[in-house]
């Protein structure tokens, strides 16, 4: 975990450091955040830590429970709602992206898929999450719709946390990387309706796999 510097408000620096620690998996879902310990590690008083935690709570990344403040454990109902939000926004972003995507942007997306395949084979789960996030974010950026990007940005952190939770518990077979290739192929064809359909199917498959694994674990069959 990083440390604070003097030319920025301490609570903002603490917020950024703690947020990054949560999204990169250094703090796991359900892990308790102790104000005093964090203050000592960052070399600040408890006040900026308290304010940073309040900001993280507004983001939905931490919640207050009987035993204190913990990283959002992301119950299956929470993850389902996030997927519903993604299904409502990302396919249309893909529709818009297909209308304006450039050749060099297609090459960048292909490279991201190739790097993710290598990371998957090397069992680098955190890097797989990072590359997967960048892949989807790139398509949203290419869409060029600022307001749509703002809407997606509001759930991005929770989406990353959900992906971390999924990969920690259920590592989906690499067929989802093939689905990324199908998305790139559709973008090459520049048929906006096909791109929209392929992205929707990809996100639905993600949720289907996760929910099936979760149910199997509940039933003791996993």
Burial of 105 (0-12, 13-18, 19+ CB in 10 A): middle
Q: Among 22-31, 80-89, 92-101, 183-192, where is mean pLDDT lowest?
A: 22-31
Q: Among 16-25, 128-137, 168-177, where is mean pLDDT lowest?
A: 168-177
Task: Check residues 83 and 173 and name the one with the higher pLDDT.
Answer: 83
Residue 100 has pLDDT above 80, yes or no: yes
- Tell me the per-residue pLDDT of 47-79, one tens digit each, with 9 for 90 and over: 999 999 999 999 999 999 888 999 998 888 888
The answer to whether position 2 is within a domain reads no
**CATH number of the domain to which 29 belongs:** 1.10.10.10
Going from the C-alpha of 202 to that of each of 54, 60, 136, 180, 196, the distances in angstroms are: 34, 25, 11, 8, 10
The domain boundary residue, chosen from 20, 49, 71: 71
- Tell me the per-residue pLDDT of 158-197, one tens digit each, with 9 for 90 and over: 887 877 666 565 567 788 899 999 999 999 999 999 999 9
Do 137 and 33 share a domain, yes or no? no
Do 102 and 160 share a domain, yes or no? yes
Question: What pLDDT, on the 0 to 100 scale, is given for residue 179?
Answer: 95
CA atoms within 13 A on the CB side of 85: 18
The domain boundary residue, chosen from 71, 95, 110: 71
pTM passes above 0.95: no
Structural domain containing residue 165: 76-218
CA distance linking residue 149 with residue 145, whole number of Å: 6
Residue 25 has pLDDT above 70, yes or no: yes
Do 43 and 96 share a domain, yes or no? no
The number of folded domains in the chain is 2
Share the mean pLDDT of the chain: 89
Average pLDDT over residues 121-129: 85
Do 154 and 172 share a domain, yes or no? yes
Do 59 and 87 share a domain, yes or no? no
CA distance linking residue 166 with residue 80, whole number of Å: 12
Do 109 and 150 share a domain, yes or no? yes
The CA angle 124-126-132, to the nearest 5 degrees, is 100
CA distance linking residue 124 with residue 131, whole number of Å: 11
Q: What is the largest CA-CA distance in the chain?
A: 56
* Helix, strand, or coil (residue 101): coil
CB 90 within 8 A of CB 144: no
CB 109 within 8 A of CB 187: yes
Question: What pLDDT, on the 0 to 100 scale, is given for residue 149?
Answer: 92
CA distance linking residue 66 with residue 196, whole number of Å: 43
CA distance linking residue 128 with residue 34, whole number of Å: 29
Do 24 and 51 share a domain, yes or no? yes
């Amino acid at each position: 975990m990083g440390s604070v510097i003097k030319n920025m408000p301490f609570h903002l620096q603490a917020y950024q450091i703690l947020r990054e620690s949560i999204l990169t998996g250094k703090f796991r879902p359900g892990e308790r955040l102790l104000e005093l310990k964090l203050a000592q590690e960052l070399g600040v008083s408890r006040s900026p830590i308290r304010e940073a935690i309040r900001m993280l709570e507004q983001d939905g990344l931490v919640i207050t429970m009987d035993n204190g403040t913990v990283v959002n454990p992301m119950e299956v109902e929470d993850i389902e709602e996030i997927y519903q939000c993604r299904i409502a926004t990302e396919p249309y972003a893909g529709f818009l992206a297909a209308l304006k995507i450039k050749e060099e942007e297609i090459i960048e997306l292909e490279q991201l898929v190739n790097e993710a395949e290598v990371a998957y084979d090397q069992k680098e789960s955190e890097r797989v999450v990072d590359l997967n996030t960048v892949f989807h974010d790139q398509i949203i950026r290419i869409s060029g719709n600022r307001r749509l990007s703002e809407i997606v940005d509001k759930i991005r952190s929770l989406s990353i946390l959900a992906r971390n939770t999924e990969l920690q518990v259920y590592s989906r077979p690499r067929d989802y990387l093939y689905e990324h290739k199908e998305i790139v192929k559709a973008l090459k064809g520049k048929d906006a309706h096909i791109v929209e359909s392929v992205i929707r199917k990809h996100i639905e498959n993600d949720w289907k796999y996760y929910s099936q694994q979760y149910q199997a674990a509940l039933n003791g069959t996993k």
